[in-house]
Structure 1
Amino acid sequence: MTTLPSEPTPGPRARKLNATSYVVLGMLSHGPATSYDLKQRVGYTVGNFWAFAHSQLYDEPARLAEDGLVTASIEDGGRRRRTYSITQEGRDALREWLGAPTPEQTEVRDLGLLKLFFATFGDRADLVNLARTRRDSHRSRADGYIAQHERIVDYADPWQVKSLELGIRIERCVEEFWAEFVTELETGAAD
């Protein structure tokens, strides 16, 4: 492996880090990874509740290397993959972010909720189908989270388990909303 030199930026960081930056730093805190490895790790963990373009996982590590927050090493032969590792400066940046206040409101970007908001301009049959589909989707996701919880609860990081438990509660709550709405639509109580 050839290690690429990284030139940490002296003093305050040259650019503001974003959520993707912290996802990469957090994932690299678990161990070195290629961009492909990061994509896989994110896919079965934080990707369940933090959506973003996976192409960012290929671009962001290089930017973090330029900032001195990660290092990159390249395979000498073969596919010449880059493997990234977090630096002490990267760990410090992650800790600083974790310690910062988080007053922002939760952002909800749910296409079903958006369609429900404008449902007055559509057909009732489409609304019933929307409610059933969303109920089933949230039930399926909650069931998947529960299965994942059962697989990892005894050995995973306890805070990752707590994150998964919150995901289960959110999905069950939203599933319950849509299930009640289906009942209201089917009994005429929603009219």
Structure 2
Amino acid sequence: MLSYAPATSYELKQRVGMTIGNFWAFAHSQLYDEPARLADDGLVTAAVEEGGRRKRTYSITDAGRAALAGWLADESREQTEVRDIGLLKLFFSSMGGPEDLRALAVHRYESHKARADNYLAQREQIIDYADRWQVKTLELGIRFERTVEEFWAEFLAELDGEPT
């Protein structure tokens, strides 16, 4: 995130929340601890505000840009990790009641629909000025959420078609 512009840890938290936080989970503490570690490694610099809250603004160094370029050039063959509470609950749903299963399907459908709608709105807001690869991440997010939304809609239809 510092490759785009210098930032304080709080500003990084804001940027991440509106961008890569959509698909890569970060502990908020990591966004405060990691810049200091990167500074110790010479990958970023820290400028401390005189007086006031003495905020630290971090900037990427040439060594940091080189490390980023090296990371981008590395192969990315890892499997996508899916951690979806809805799927976990669906797996164990035979231990609950039918009303719980239907409620799960409704809530997951609504959740994925809302997230897809939000990604679509974000895309429309940034389409004219954002980096095209950032837009592509939103497009994949939209497709993913719409696919999962469709799964839960079909599942609801399946449940509604079953005799009670």
User: For the superposition of Structure 1 and Structure 2, which TM-score range results when normalised by the shorter chain?
Assistant: over 0.9
Q: Structure 1: how far apart are the matches of 2:104 and 2:135? A: 31
Matched, 1:28 2:2: yes
Q: Is 1:104 the equivalent of 2:78?
A: yes
Q: Higher helix share goes to which structure?
A: 2
Q: Does 1:66 align with 2:72?
A: no
* 1:4 match: none
Distance in 2 between residues matched to 1:64 and 1:52, nearest whole Å: 16
Deviates more, 1:47-56 or 1:108-117: 47-56
Q: Which amino acid aligns with 2:78?
A: E
**Which aligned pairs between 1:1-191 and structure 2 lie closer than 5 A?**
27-188=1-162
TM (norm. structure 2) is: 0.98
CA shift, 1:52, in A, is 2.0
Distance 2:29 2:73 in 1: 28
Amino acid at match of 2:55: R
- CA deviation vs aligned residue, 1:5-63 (integer Å, no higher than 9, x gap): xxxxxxxxxxxxxxxxxxxxxx0001100000000000100111111211100000000
Quick one: higher RCO (CA 8 Å, sep 6+), 1 or 2?
1
> Residue type of the partner of 1:92?
A
TM-score normalised by the chain length of structure 1: 0.84
Structure 1: gaps of 5 or more residues:
1-26
